Structure 1
Amino acid sequence: MPEPLLLIDDDVRLSQMLVQYLAEAGYAVTCAHTGKSGLQLAAQGHWALIILDLMLPDADGLDLCRTLRTGNTAQIPILMLTARGDATDRIIGLEMGADDYLPKPFEPRELRARIKAILRRGARDAAHVPVLRFGRLEIDREAREIRVDGQVREVTSYQFDLLVAMAERAGRVLSRDQLMDMVKGEPLEAFDRSIDVHISRLRAAIEDNPKHPRRILTLRGAGYVFARAQDSDDTL
């Protein structure tokens, strides 16, 4: 399944070109041409990465970057695009939390390489963290424990591995086939709908209200996504 990217750039022609080019590299790009629509889309979707142009008609890209580093978009990697020649702007952007920057004009191949490097770095960093924390939820890989508010929640070994696989890719939509590839189990586990059963049991263990999950979300026809963060105190 293509990785979802959000492109916030007012250059419609460039955006259309990047949508097509990055689709060939396995990315699904959604475009916003104003800062306002970009923030709305960023808050609504589950993005692997945001590509942000600093020069927008209705907003300053640096202010937008600062806003994206709060709330449920705080952990989404940001790649800045800038036509500004002043290195100070790029430094400020990085200090505000952008993961990388690329000056305009640029070669599409370099953009693709930088996207790949950011996503690979994020996956590598997550793999070295012994305890994954998402608000009140802790996933302790060394102890193989799941804790909510410090209380251990009982799950099977397979379900623990499944949750780790999703948490390491928080914010990304994962199909059942992808999840089964990530968590190699007994042949019995290889039935398509068995993933749904395990997800249901994980929700019973970690959700405040399993009938209205806020941690493991379902995207109909696509798969599941582990939420990066939520705004309210009683969710991730």
Structure 2
Amino acid sequence: MRIAILEDEPTQMEYLVHALEQQLASCSPPLTCVRFGMGETLRRALRSDTFDLLVLDWNVPDLDGLDLLQWVRKFRESSVPIIMLSSRGSECDVVQALAAGANDYLVKPLRPLELAARIRNQLHQLQPQAQQRPVERFGHWEFDRTSSIARLTHASNVSDIELTEREFRLALALFGNLGQTVSRSYLMERMGINGESPSRSLDSQIYRLRTKLGLRPVHGVRLQTIYGQGYRLEAVNEHAS
């Protein structure tokens, strides 16, 4: 799970990251906190990177948290959960942030248990009971978490495809973000890729998954490489292929 944190005070940032790493240590996939001290730096990252949730401090230099929140909702048209942090506790401030698209609002000083609980709540709303479902279904495909088997049903044909653990994680990351560009760093983290050539390893995994699952328009999807960003799996009209 990737969380982007916007906070310009180093002490507050350390406190936030330490609290989340402690309280969300058991989450799956493992938690990664990506730190940003400037709003404009985070905005540049959001043009090409993917996060599961954003934690934004309202009062930061250059582009503040509220302006960034409005940009994410209006121009990126993203539904990523956003929690706003601020020392501003008036009703008007809270309403302004919620009206701009914040999913939640916390007033500083923060209470780590509460923040972690609110993050869990947002993620559960986004994917209710996802981790409890043994089988995930997307169009022609079914993915069985208990066996790492993918089942492709097309016309009258049914094919069971055995995937490696990494291939299975990659498939769920792509299908779970159907129609959205997913960054390379997000996919590599979901797969647990590290080492000397992580980018090359991802490309190899993508190639194998595309071949194994038949990710082609004839099966109702197209897997695209988005230059400088990552990959996008999108639904297409299979009868027009």
TM-score bracket for the superposition, by shorter chain length: 0.5 to 0.7
The answer for unaligned runs of 5 or more in structure 2 is: 132-136, 142-153, 162-167, 194-203, 235-241
> How far apart, in 2, do the equivalents of 1:227 and 1:20 lie?
35
Residue 46 of structure 1 aligns to a residue whose secondary structure is coil
State how 1:122-141 maps to structure 2 within 5 Å: 122-124=126-128, 141=139
Aligned to 1:90: 94
Query: In 2 relative to 1, CA 122–157 (structure 1 residues): closer, same or farther, beyond 3 Å?
Result: farther
> How far apart, in 2, do the equivalents of 1:226 and 1:23 lie?
30
Q: Which stretch has the larger CA shift, 166-175 or 105-114?
A: 166-175
Q: CA deviation at 1:213?
A: 2.0
CA contact (8 A) 1:52 1:61 kept: yes
Matched, 1:62 2:66: yes
The answer for unaligned runs of 5 or more in structure 1 is: 128-138, 146-152, 178-192, 219-224, 229-236
Q: CA deviation at 1:195?
A: 8.2
> How far apart, in 2, do the equivalents of 1:19 and 1:104 lie?
15
Q: CA deviation at 1:156?
A: 6.2
State how 1:130-209 maps to structure 2 within 5 Å: 141=139, 144=140, 166-168=174-176, 173=187, 174-175=190-191, 197-200=208-211, 201-205=213-217, 206-207=221-222
Aligned to 1:184: none
Query: In 2 relative to 1, CA 168–53 (structure 1 residues): closer, same or farther, beyond 3 Å?
Result: same
Residue 124 of structure 1 aligns to a residue whose secondary structure is coil
Q: CA deviation at 1:63?
A: 1.6
Aligned to 2:165: none
Aligned to 1:213: 225
Q: Which letter maps to 2:124?
A: R
Question: 1:95-140, CA deviations, whole angstroms, 9 ceiling, x for partnerless residues?
Answer: 111111111111111111111110111002999xxxxxxxxxxx96
Residue 88 of structure 1 aligns to a residue whose secondary structure is helix
Residue 80 of structure 2 aligns to a residue whose secondary structure is coil
Structure 1 residue runs of 4 or more that deviate by more than 4 Å after TM superposition: 153-159, 162-165, 169-172, 193-196, 225-228
Question: 1:3-62, CA deviations, whole angstroms, 9 ceiling, x for partnerless residues?
Answer: 111001111111122223323424211111111112112223210001001111223322
CA contact (8 A) 1:62 1:93 kept: yes
Identity, % of aligned positions: 24
Q: CA RMSD in A?
A: 3.8
Aligned to 1:30: 34
CA contact (8 A) 2:57 2:64 kept: no
> How far apart, in 2, do the equivalents of 1:194 and 1:41 lie?
24
> How far apart, in 2, do the equivalents of 1:202 and 1:89 lie?
50
TM-score by length of 1: 0.61
Query: In 2 relative to 1, CA 99–203 (structure 1 residues): closer, same or farther, beyond 3 Å?
Result: same
Q: Which stretch has the larger CA shift, 49-58 or 118-127?
A: 118-127
Q: Which letter maps to 2:175?
A: A
Query: In 2 relative to 1, CA 213–81 (structure 1 residues): closer, same or farther, beyond 3 Å?
Result: same
Query: In 2 relative to 1, CA 92–99 (structure 1 residues): closer, same or farther, beyond 3 Å?
Result: same
Query: In 2 relative to 1, CA 43–165 (structure 1 residues): closer, same or farther, beyond 3 Å?
Result: closer
Residue 51 of structure 1 aligns to a residue whose secondary structure is strand
Q: CA deviation at 1:67?
A: 0.4
Question: 1:121-170, CA deviations, whole angstroms, 9 ceiling, x for partnerless residues?
Answer: 1002999xxxxxxxxxxx965xx48xxxxxxx9896668xx766643356
Aligned to 1:181: none
CA contact (8 A) 2:138 2:175 kept: no
> How far apart, in 2, do the equivalents of 1:115 and 1:66 lie?
20
